[in-house]
Amino acid sequence: MLRSLRFAALAGGLILSASALAVDVDAASYGYPLTNPFEATIATTPPDLRPELPLNEDINQSDHSLTLRPEREFILPDNFWPVKSLTYRMATQDKPAPLIFLIAGTGARYDSTLNEYLKRLYYKAGYHVVQLSSPTSFDFMSAASRFATPGITKEDAEDMYRVMQAVRAQNPKLPVTEYYLTGYSLGALDAAFVAHLDETRRSFNFKKVLLLNPPVNLYTSITNLDKLVQTEVKGINSSTTFYELVLNKLTRYFQQKGYIDLNDALLYDFQQSKQHLTNEQMAMLIGTSFRFSAADIAFTSDLINRRGLIIPPKFPITESTSLTPFLKRALQCDFDCYLTEQVIPMWRARTDGGSLLQLVDQVSLYALKDYLQASPKIAVMHNADDVILGPGDLGFLRKTFGDRLTVYPLGGHCGNLNYRVNSDAMLEFFRG
């Protein structure tokens, strides 16, 4: 449990509210410099405000593969060979240590930028670390998902749990003292359901679970992100696409710098330049990124299940087949379309399910309210300006988690996870 006095000492004198329902970090003393939630989401934290962490070459780590759905060998086209087995990354200490599982966000693989950052953070603190792909990533859907139709969070968590068990079985000699779990964005929602499943399966008996910027109402969050694609952006017309506009800005930016620098500080530095994106352009960029994730999910699910919604069921796909026409078709289907055309029909057929509203309740944190309220080992860190939150979401978190909820005033969606104050708080939660 995050106690106000301990957290205040850790954060160097941050002013916290006296509310008994949550730890509210005061904006004036927080110190995070980006007040625009879109900019924070895209650019994250200025490099000089991030913690000092080991480089990858200084970490004892390796990638491993699991064969969990061998039948996919005969279902997937030959050019899907890289994802017919599931890859995960493991970083290990040279002595007995706690192990922490990291679950990536929407559409993200195990080696996503945020998962890599969290790996380095927890490895430096002395943990074994296992990086896992999101159940919505194309590799997890292909190699680990039973139904290859993510969106039913309970079933996604069951698939994830089997992966975690397989990871442990594949590394029987790793000296683990206890197990921890965390995830960011959609991965945080998955982590909550995995923790709930573990209460009955007892394979790991997670000592602590941290949810970073989880969606509260999954449907609200995806609707918020889908709407960003509809933002009206100045400079876009019939002859200039959004992608051309951004590409032209990046080209001019690199010309002014005199060289191309594609490091993880690029977007923050870019936003400080004359070529910076406007609010509307940043909103469109976030929404477009999410739309591509939704397209990947819709395409992969349709391909594996042969539903014929995007790809004709008997259409031959080889290594030389252009997937561009199918990508264009998939991009026309947003996440709401994916839910309507693929998730709900499967859900109804398998469970005699009902309405969309019933499904929304089952796949969101609402479904676990009593468990989350009663479990002292689970905490949440969220941002008041997170673009995925809807009306009443923070209120639900406050009522459900009490002082196990920390609310930061700034950071957008996961933009402040690599800020030193947040990093210290994450480590303190698991140590406490």
CA distance 99 to 122: 9
pLDDT of residue 374: 96
Q: What is the 3-state secondary structure (H, E, C) of the chain?
A: CCCHHHHHHHCCCCCECCCCCCEEECHHHHCCCCCCHHHHHHHCCCHHHCCCCCCHHHCCEEEEEECCCCCHHHHCCHHHHHHCCEEEEEECCCCCEEEEEEECCCCCCCCCHHHHHHHHHHHHCCCEEEEECCCCCHHHHHHCCCCCCCCCHHHHHHHHHHHHHHHHHHCCCCCEEEEEEEEECHHHHHHHHHHHHHHHHCCCCCCEEEEECCCCCHHHHHHHHHHHCCCCCCCCECCECHHHHHHHHHHHHHHHHCCCCCCCCHHHHHHCCCCCCCHHHHHHHHHHHHHHHHHHHHHHHHHHHCCCCCCCCCCCCCCCCCCHHHHHHHHCCCHHHHHHHHHHHHHHHHHCCCCHHHHHHHHCHHHHHHHHHHCCCEEEEEECCCCCCCCCHHHHHHHHHHHHEEEECCCCCCCCCCCHHHHHHHHHHHHC
Q: What is the pLDDT of residue 55?
A: 95
338, containing H or E segment: helix 335-338
Residues of the chain with pLDDT under 70: 1-20, 77-82, 229-277, 353
The predicted-structure confidence for 46-70, as pLDDT tens digits, reads as follows 999 999 999 999 999 999 999 999 8
* Residue 256 pLDDT: 55
- The whole-number pLDDT of residue 291 equals 80
Is residue 398 within a helix (H) or strand (E), and if so which, with residue range?
helix 393-401
